[in-house]
Amino acid sequence: PITPGELLCLGSSLAFSGLFYYLYRKKARVVARIQEAPKLQVDNDLPALVSAADGRCLPYVALEGVVLPAKAALTSHYHEGLQGVIQKLLLKEHRLIWNSLARSW
């Protein structure tokens, strides 16, 4: 004899397992698309390739080449000799609205 509590635990366990498997497969497809991304060199042909693409956008490409910093390269505090640059910094500020019911912003 199986009790209703055991059935509830079994059902919720199966539901959570199915949900996590679905999320795992979804992320695995994204990782596979990124790993299959074409590798392009940063050279004079790149602007023509981008302008010829649909919507002037290349989804999931890996760019290989040398970049130069605008001012100074960023150095790592944890790995000596490791340097990097920031491509673009985007700051998005969300508007706060007072919620009088919860008395919070």
Distance CA 11, CA 5 (A): 10
Is residue 49 located within the same domain as residue 79?
Answer: yes
pLDDT per position as a tens digit, 9-38: 999 999 999 999 999 999 999 899 888 888
10: containing domain: 1-36
Give the per-residue pLDDT at 28: 96
Q: What percent of the chain has pLDDT over 70?
A: 94
Is residue 11 located within the same domain as residue 29?
Answer: yes
Is residue 27 located within the same domain as residue 44?
Answer: no
Is residue 85 located within the same domain as residue 43?
Answer: yes
Identify whether 60 is part of a domain.
yes
Is residue 25 located within the same domain as residue 67?
Answer: no
Is residue 16 located within the same domain as residue 28?
Answer: yes
CA atoms within 13 A on the CB side of 65: 13
Give the per-residue pLDDT at 89: 62
Q: What tokens were used for 99? A: 């919620």
